[in-house]
Amino acid sequence: MHIALYKPDIPQNTAAIIRLGACLNLKIHIIEPCGFNINDSRFKRVVMDYIGISKIFKYEDYEMFIKKNKKFRVVLMTTKAKKSYLDFKYKKKDILLFGRESAGVPKNIHKDIEHKLKIPMMKKARSLNVAISAAISVSEAMRQIKLLK
């Protein structure tokens, strides 16, 4: 199972997702540029020593990410989707893509991705924290494909 972050801009969220990846044996893909430095104290405080046991792949841009991951299906997690993450059939070679905390993904990427999912929530709420969204959605995907026991 894989999680991809498109140009993440909050160090604590990225660190929490890397830690999630370490604990659940997930591959984490980071599409650059990040909005912070990897030496940021806020990042280090959350990621702790989990960065040493994480599987992290970095890409200079979205095009390189797509080029290097052609054999995988990219699933965009977005508040703009119509389909719930609970009504989707996940596969082992899925990469769950999360946009920037501040802006999501650009319209051209949104259009190019066939599978878009949302986590249903109260109408008054804008969005969940990206690290929480990653944990919720990846746990359902892993449950479906029997990676959680």
Domain boundaries, the chain: 2-144
State pLDDT tens for residues 82-119: 999 999 999 999 999 999 988 899 999 999 999 999 99
Amino acid letter, residue 51: I
Give the CB-side neighbour count of residue 116, counting CA atoms within 13 A. 15
Give the CB-side neighbour count of residue 86, counting CA atoms within 13 A. 4
CA nearest to 3, candidates 122, 96, 109, 135: 96
Average pLDDT over residues 65-88: 97
First vs last C-alpha separation in the chain: 15
**CA distances to 34, 63, 78, 79 from 110, in Å:** 19, 14, 9, 11
CATH class belonging to 2-144: alpha beta
Amino acid 90: pLDDT: 97
